[in-house]
Structure 1
Amino acid sequence: MQILIAPRVSEKALRLADNHRQFVFKVLPNATKPEIKQAVEFLFKVKVDKVQVACVKGKQKTFGRIQGKRKDWKKAYVGLQEGFDINFRVGE
């Protein structure tokens, strides 16, 4: 299950998790919604309700006189069914 790269932990992601049971993951660029759903259900033993994906464009950056670009990446918003939860917070 190499589809999921890492969870995205930010203020927005934590707000979505608390209010709407949605969790944000960085996923492979060629991952599909059914593959993401299957990977989350297998790894975290939860039931997924819906999956939304967003392709994030890499930023243009300047390093001195050198122009560069960060890689494009894909993130998935995974909504869980009622009664299921994933806990990423350490120390709780």
Structure 2
Amino acid sequence: MLTALFVALALTLTTGLVAGWRLRRALTAERAARRLADAAHVRDTAAFVAAVRNGQRHHHRTHAVLADADAVLDRALAAHHPHTRRREGDGHD
């Protein structure tokens, strides 16, 4: 009778230890997956911000080139048509 009690106690203890070990492994795997997801989010956000900033720089460069070209055209037109002057708010920015 005492032997059966020890066997039952050992079996219960072993089952509990195995369940605890499996739970610990599952939680460790979940933490690792969370760290990977967080790192991917940071990487993707940084790439998106870099792309937006690159697009803004391109836009500003393009705008500057177009403004310079507009100024050259205005000077050329003013030389050929001195009576025509550009007015503020005529739709050309």
Task: Name whichever structure is richer in strand by fraction.
Answer: 1
Same fold (TM > 0.5): no
TM-score by length of 2: 0.15
Q: With CA pairs under 8 Å and 6+ residues apart, which has the higher RCO, 1 or 2?
A: 1
